[in-house]
């Protein structure tokens, strides 16, 4: 009974929110500080108010709804996700987590859960970074990581800065620092999100409990050889950049598979020059993206990559450069919150599995300083960041019920540790 009602409310919210897109009929395009973002925020505010929450929009364009507890000074429990989307994205990424957070507030009231502390539902602005090439703008601002100078520095492809876009949207970028929450005021953070990958759907598992957000290292590798005639240069007298690159690239997937712990390694970009069918390649450039829940495994693959480039250079007579583009350490989520969620799954009879998240999410930003946890909902065929992105409303409802169980346990739990109640900060 409960699930049916919850499912209907989430479906209604998400269908209404899907209207706020710049590309009707071609998926969701809801970039920050646009009229589509404004439409979504106004709808979220209305739903939060109807759920009995105290609503406000902060200086960064984040929207919050508070269900006040007896002690307003006590660190709150926050749950939320982002309301922006990529270009021609889906109707679930981010926004489904906002709908779930509002739904949790409704359930807490309906269950009559006594609240010592406040529960806060949040809709974050600009997680994707699609427009300004940033990422985690709203959640970052909440943590005090943005200032006026940074707002002026980042610009979209039309040359409009975050600063200008905010003014146009009706926010005062000079007040961006006011979006910061006092350290220690958020006790813990929960994010429900669609998986955006194929694992849960393929296994028929109802929910994923995210225990880790994987670390990432990215490299751009340039292998240098010599351009020669493809017909007249004997095999033992050429310095073939493609041969060198090929040896390394073909080894990479095997290194990742050896770990059998979900470690992945990808070459998603390759470019050969001069790029002629009858010319030995002078230079080959390719990208390497390595992700794992284990930082040691990432380091080891990066080390083997370097060794293999070294060996290929010696064998073929060329040279190489390996430039690191990104380095993020894995983030391990709150074991204490995970344990509560696991128990709640068993009590409810929901099938679940622990899993890492291969993508970032607001939790990657927030979880650095605040005990956090994520719950994943299956994505149909693993598709995301495209118009066919789909998750079953009933699965989202289960994520919301589970999150409400978790919040109830933390609100009422005597056994909850100081770390969860007070945050790390
Ligand atoms: Zn997202």
Contact at 8 Å (CB) between 142 and 62?
Answer: yes
How remote is the CA of residue 385 from the centroid of ligand 1, in Å? 9
Report CA(414)–ligand 1 centroid distance (Å): 33
Average pLDDT in the 188-214 region?
Answer: 97
* Tens digit of each residue's pLDDT (9 = 90 or more) over 204-260: 999 999 999 999 999 999 999 999 999 999 999 999 999 999 999 999 999 999 998
5-9, 134-138, 250-254, 415-419: least confidently modelled range: 415-419
Residue 111 CA to ligand 1 center (angstroms) comes to 29
* Radius of gyration from C-alpha coordinates of the chain: 24
Statement: residue 181 has pLDDT above 90 = yes
> Which two tokens mark 101?
């957070």
pLDDT above 70 as % of the chain:
97
Q: Report in angstroms the alpha-carbon separations of 293 from 126, 188, 218, 287.
A: 26, 22, 15, 20
Three-state secondary structure call for residue 216: strand
DSSP state of 83: -
pLDDT for 146-179, tens place per residue?
999 999 999 999 999 999 999 999 999 999 999 9
How many Å separate Cα 228 from the centre of its chain?
45
Q: Does the structure show a pLDDT above 80 at 423?
A: no
CA–CA dist 364, 374 (Å, integer): 10
Q: For the chain, what is the mean pLDDT?
A: 94
Residue 267 to residue 330: CA distance in whole angstroms: 20
User: Residue 2: what pLDDT?
Assistant: 82
Separation of alpha carbons 396 and 7, rounded Å: 7
Residue 406, pLDDT above cutoff 80 = yes
Taking the centre of ligand 1 as the mean of its atom positions, its distance from the CA of residue 314, in whole angstroms, is 44
Ligand 1 centroid to residue 355 C-alpha, Å: 17
**Rounded CA separation 295/290 (Å):** 10
Q: By the 8 A CB rule, do 144 and 136 touch?
A: no
At residue 73, the pLDDT reads: 87
At 172 the three-state DSSP class reads coil
| pLDDT reading at 199 higher than 60 | yes
Provide the pLDDT confidence category of residue 340 given band limits of 50, 70 and 90.
very high
Q: Indicate the pTM of the whole model.
A: 0.87
CA of 285 to the centre of ligand 1 (A): 30
Task: Kindly give the distance from the C-alpha atom of residue 198 to the centroid of ligand 1, in angstroms, as a whole number.
Answer: 16
pLDDT value for 413: 67
Q: How far away, in angstroms, is 94 Cα from ligand 1 center? A: 4
pLDDT at 68 over 50: yes
For the chain, list the domains and their CATH numbers: 2-213+331-422 (3.40.630.10), 216-328 (3.30.70.360)
- Mean pLDDT score, 404-423: 75
Distance 377 CA to ligand 1 centre (A): 12
- In DSSP notation, 230-298 reads TTTS-GGG---HHHHHHHHHHHHHHHHHHH-SS-EEE---EEEES--TTB--SEEEEEEEEEES-HHHH
Share of the chain above pLDDT 90, in %: 89
Average pLDDT for 305-311: 98
Closest CA to 161 of 170, 174, 149, 152: 152
Q: Strand, coil or helix: what is 153?
A: helix
Q: How many residues make up the chain in this entry? A: 425
Kindly give the distance from the C-alpha atom of residue 193 to the centroid of ligand 1, in angstroms, as a whole number. 7
Q: Which of 61-75, 80-94, 409-423 has the lowest mean pLDDT?
A: 409-423
Please state, in angstroms and rounded to a whole number, the distance separating the CA atoms of residues 181 and 377.
29
Q: What is the structure's pLDDT at 425?
A: 39
Q: Is the pLDDT of residue 298 over 80?
A: yes
> How far does the centroid of ligand 1 lie from the alpha carbon of residue 6, in Å?
22
- The stretch 280-286 carries a mean pLDDT of 98
CA–CA distance, 187 with 179 (Å, rounded to integer): 17
pLDDT value at residue 135: 84
Amino acid 133: pLDDT: 84
Q: What is the pLDDT of residue 417?
A: 67
Outline where 322-370 has alpha helix (H).
335-348, 361-366
The alpha carbon of 93 and the centre of ligand 1 are apart by a number of angstroms equal to 5
């Amino acid at each position: 009974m409960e699930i049916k009602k919850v499912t209907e409310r989430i479906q209604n919210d998400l269908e209404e929110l899907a209207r706020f897109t710049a590309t009707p009929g071609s998926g969701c395009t809801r970039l920050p500080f646009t009229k589509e973002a404004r439409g979504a925020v106004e709808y979220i505010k209305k739903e939060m108010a109807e759920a009995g929450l105290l609503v406000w929009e902060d200086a960064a364009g984040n929207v919050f709804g508070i269900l006040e507890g007896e002690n307003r000074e006590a660190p709150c429990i926050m749950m939320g996700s982002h309301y922006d989307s990529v270009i021609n994205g889906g109707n679930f990424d981010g926004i489904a987590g906002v709908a779930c957070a509002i739904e949790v507030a409704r359930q807490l009231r309906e269950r009559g859960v006594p609240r010592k502390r406040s529960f806060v539902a949040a809709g974050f602005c600009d997680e994707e970074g699609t427009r300004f090439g940033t990422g985690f703008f709203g959640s970052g601002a909440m943590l005090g990581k943005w200032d006026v100078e940074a707002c002026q520095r980042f610009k979209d492809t039309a040359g409009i800065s975050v600063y200008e876009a905010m003014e146009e949207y009706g926010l005062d970028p000079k007040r961006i620092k006011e979006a910061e929450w006092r350290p220690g005021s958020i006790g813990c953070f929960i994010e429900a999100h669609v998986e955006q990958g194929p694992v849960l759907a393929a296994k028929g598992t109802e929910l994923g409990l995210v225990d880790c957000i994987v670390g990432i290292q990215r490299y751009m590798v340039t292998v240098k050889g010599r351009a020669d005639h493809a017909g007249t240069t004997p095999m033992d007298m050429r310095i073939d950049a493609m041969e060198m690159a090929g040896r390394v690239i073909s080894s990479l997937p095997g290194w990742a598979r050896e770990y059998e712990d979900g470690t992945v390694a990808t070459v998603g970009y390759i470019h050969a020059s001069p790029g002629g069918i009858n010319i030995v390649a002078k230079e080959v450039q390719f990208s390497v993206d390595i992700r794992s829940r284990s930082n040691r495994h990432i380091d080891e693959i990066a080390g083997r990559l370097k060794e293999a480039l070294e060996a290929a250079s010696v064998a073929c007579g060329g040279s190489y450069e390996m430039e690191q583009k990104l380095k993020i350490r894995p983030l391990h989520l709150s074991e204490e919150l995970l344990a509560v969620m696991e128990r709640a799954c068993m009590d409810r009879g929901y099938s679940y599995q622990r899993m890492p998240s291969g993508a970032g999410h607001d939790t990657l930003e927030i979880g650095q300083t605040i005990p956090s946890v994520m719950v994943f909902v299956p994505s149909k065929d693993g598709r995301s960041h495209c118009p066919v992105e789909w998750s079953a409303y009933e699965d989202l409802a289960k994520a919301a019920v589970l999150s409400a169980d978790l919040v109830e346990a933390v609100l009422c739990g005597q056994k909850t540790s100081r770390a969860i109640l007070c945050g790390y900060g």
